Structure 1
Amino acid sequence: MGVSLRVSKSGGISKSSYYFGNERRSNKEVVREERRMRNSNVEAEIDRLPVDLLAHIFFLFSSFTDLAQASSVCRKWREGVKQSLARKERLSFAGWKMDDDSTARLVRYAYNLKELDISRSCWGCQITDEGLFKISLAKCVSNLTSISLWGMTGITDRGVIQLVSRANSLHYLNIGGTFVTDESLYAIAASCPHLKVNSFK
């Protein structure tokens, strides 16, 4: 790398540009290049972390958007996200704009899940019967003790009946603010023998 010197009017000497081989670069370009190299080194350091340590880091994430972005970086990070979700016993999507596929995917990875909250959010939750069907197929559903579907206007008896038919360990269920009918109530009574609280408010 070469350096070009410039003499100012006051007689001082300053660096005006750098040469990389035959390529001339300005100070700003050199700074950008150095920043890019530093970022690459940081990424390389993170890539050397074992999956279980990545999982511990991702476990601390509170944003599902951040988790989704992290899982798309590479296969190793995706595995770290999956392992972090497997450690969670509670998932709350309240306050997040979620759809059927993304919600079901996260629940499917959360093997040890006990409490699931997919209440309506201020952003407008888009969960439908299709989402409840997909969630009902997750391995953790039979171990769930609490589910909140409060305000989920996009679901019907069809989705609720499918979900509760697999959630036999429920102690708490909130279906307030939904449009379900007595058909769901009969299914809940038949499928959830341990239910202690069934909220309709």
Structure 2
Amino acid sequence: MRRRLVITLLAVVAAGVVAAVVVTSREEPSPVAESKAPAVPPSSTSEPPAAFCPETAGSDRVRSPSGLDGKTGPRTPSGPHRLAYFVVDDKGMRDFTGTAAQHLPMGTSQEGKVQVVVCEYPKPTNERVGTCDGYQRQGKAPLTVAVTGVQYTYKAYDADSKRLLDTFELPGIRVCPGSVTTVDDIPRAIEARSDYTAVIGRLLPHLRM
């Protein structure tokens, strides 16, 4: 009887751990975990960020050093100019150049030194802006998932001089993924995506001049 009780408790604990991982896998780190990490002052030994993008959309202070050091070049009189594109959010700074480059005009070269840097800052609004429908489930009714709004701020820089060329805002657009995540059979909302076509359209004067 005692052995059976121990096994049952372990099963409950294991189940609790699995459930916690599923529910919190995309949550923010807890304040307790952050408070335990020692503060690390800026130093030459710390890993530089992927690009010189400011930490927030409201800041104009570019970061140095960065992973773009030695990889930039001046914009020439004739374009197009090579683009580098980074997303800055609570997950850090991530390189989305490959995604953004798919929306460049046909024939645009991405060879050579980086000449224009774009920094994207998403700000969720949690406002429902639409739905994504028709996600099939075996033996159950198809799912309809809410799409929530995101306001995006963009800052475009001359890569070589780090001079701010343009800053603007655009709302996110509804893009339905091929699959969705559910927790306890409840689907997670889908956040509106960056409108890359509109962003590149706005940047074309800087990419061509």
Shorter-chain TM-score range: under 0.3
Greater percentage in helix: 1
Structure with bigger gyration radius: 1
Name the structure, 1 or 2, with higher relative contact order (CA <8 Å, separation 6+): 2
Relative to the length of structure 1, the TM-score reads 0.24
Relative to the length of structure 2, the TM-score reads 0.23
